[in-house]
Amino acid sequence: MTVKQISVFLENKPNQLAEFVKVLNENHIDMRAMSVADTKDFGILRVIVDDTYKTACVLKDAGYICSITPVLAVEIPDEPGGLTKLLTILGENGVNLEYTYAFITRKKETAYMIFRVEDNEKAIEVLTKHGITPICQDALNEL
């Protein structure tokens, strides 16, 4: 019940992101979501794509350093307060978030949150108990 995220090392200098996106474009890879965490000198680019395996191969060939991380993707109503319930559940059950980012899809009124937590199993258990089911890779691919 996790989805695969690709994390890529990028230097913090002009044109790095453009070059990266060009590689995806040339290989007809579609991004579902993207987020960048940066420090002064470098950044970690995190993407959810339609074909994780192909993307990893393409990036490796292009000389990028990347890794695949299982993260949680949760559907939430795209309206004020939509996130509150979810975060409260995680918080009250001691699930610490390392990072998170959001994306929306063509499907109306629904947003998705990506969560990176220390213990995926525990987070899934907590969420399921409260009637929330993280989506799996196949479901994500169909979005």
Nearest Cα residue to 53 out of 40, 68, 39, 65: 68
- Which of 1, 35, 46, 52 is close enough to bind other proteins by CB under 8 A? 46
Query: Shortest Cβ distance from residue 32 to other proteins (Å)?
Result: 17
Helix 84-92 and helix 120-129, axial crossing angle in degrees, nearest 10: 120
Quote the strand ranges of 39-119, DSSP E: 42-49, 66-77, 97-104, 110-117
Q: How many residues bind other proteins (CB under 8 A)?
A: 19
Q: Which stretch binds other proteins (CB under 8 A): 3-11, 24-32, 47-55, 132-140?
A: 3-11
The answer to whether the beta carbons of residues 37 and 8 sit under 8 Å apart is no
- Which of 39, 106, 108, 142 is close enough to bind other proteins by CB under 8 A? 39
65 backbone dihedrals φ, ψ, rounded to 5°: -100, 125
Should residue 32 be labelled a site residue for other proteins when binding is judged by CB under 8 A? no
Q: How far apart are CA 55 and CA 10, in angstroms?
A: 16
Letters for 99-128 (x = contact with other proteins by CB under 8 A, - = none) are -----------------x------------
Q: Which residues bind other proteins (CB under 8 A)?
A: 5, 7, 9-11, 37, 39, 41-42, 44, 46, 63-67, 69, 98, 116
